[in-house]
């Protein structure tokens, strides 16, 4: 009886093992293709941002080249000498505007208006609410 237990059919037959290997290989290929497809989609994601940065830096390069040309010109040297160096050409006169500062005047303090609540009596508020008529003189 125990010998019969050892001689049972194998768990998987050769065609079943081949089919399982083919299914495993197909799953591996499918997962690999999916990974490659996702990587391919991510290739051009930052291209527009990078192109905008390249355009901005190209514009900055042109601005810096123009500034360099101006700084190396005689016009810049003359403007710097006049404005910051204090040099004048023969026959020129320096004009320096003077700022006259006025002394501030103290602001007048307005007189306080008397508060009508301090002189009011409770009966006056009731009279006004009930009659809408002017208050009788005292």
Per-residue tokens: 69: 């040309």
Query: What pTM value is reported for the model?
Result: 0.37
Tokens 């208050």 — which residue? 135
pLDDT tens for residues 38-89? 888 877 778 888 899 999 999 999 999 999 999 999 999 888 888 888 888 8
Q: What mean pLDDT comes out for the span 21-28?
A: 96
The predicted pLDDT at position 49 comes to 87
Per-residue tokens: 65: 């080249």
* Residue 84 neighbours by CB distance under 10 Å: 8
Phi and psi of 127, rounded to 5°? -60, -45
What's the mean per-residue pLDDT of the chain? 84
Of 32-41, 53-62, 107-116, the least confident: 107-116
């Amino acid at each position: 009886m125990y010998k019969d237990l050892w001689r049972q059919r194998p768990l998987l037959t050769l065609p079943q093992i081949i089919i399982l290997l083919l299914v495993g290989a197909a799953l591996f290929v499918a997962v690999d293709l999916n990974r490659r497809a996702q990587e391919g989609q991510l290739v051009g994601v930052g291209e527009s941002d990078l192109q905008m940065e390249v355009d901005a830096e190209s514009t900055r390069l042109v601005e810096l080249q123009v500034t360099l040309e101006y700084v190396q010109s005689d016009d810049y040297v003359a403007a710097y000498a006049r404005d910051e160096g204090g040099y004048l050409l023969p026959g020129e006169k320096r004009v320096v505007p003077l700022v006259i500062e006025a002394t501030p005047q103290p602001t007048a303090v307005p007189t306080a208006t008397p508060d009508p609540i301090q002189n009011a009596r409770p009966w006056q508020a009731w009279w006004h609410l009930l009659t809408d008529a002017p208050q009788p003189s005292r």
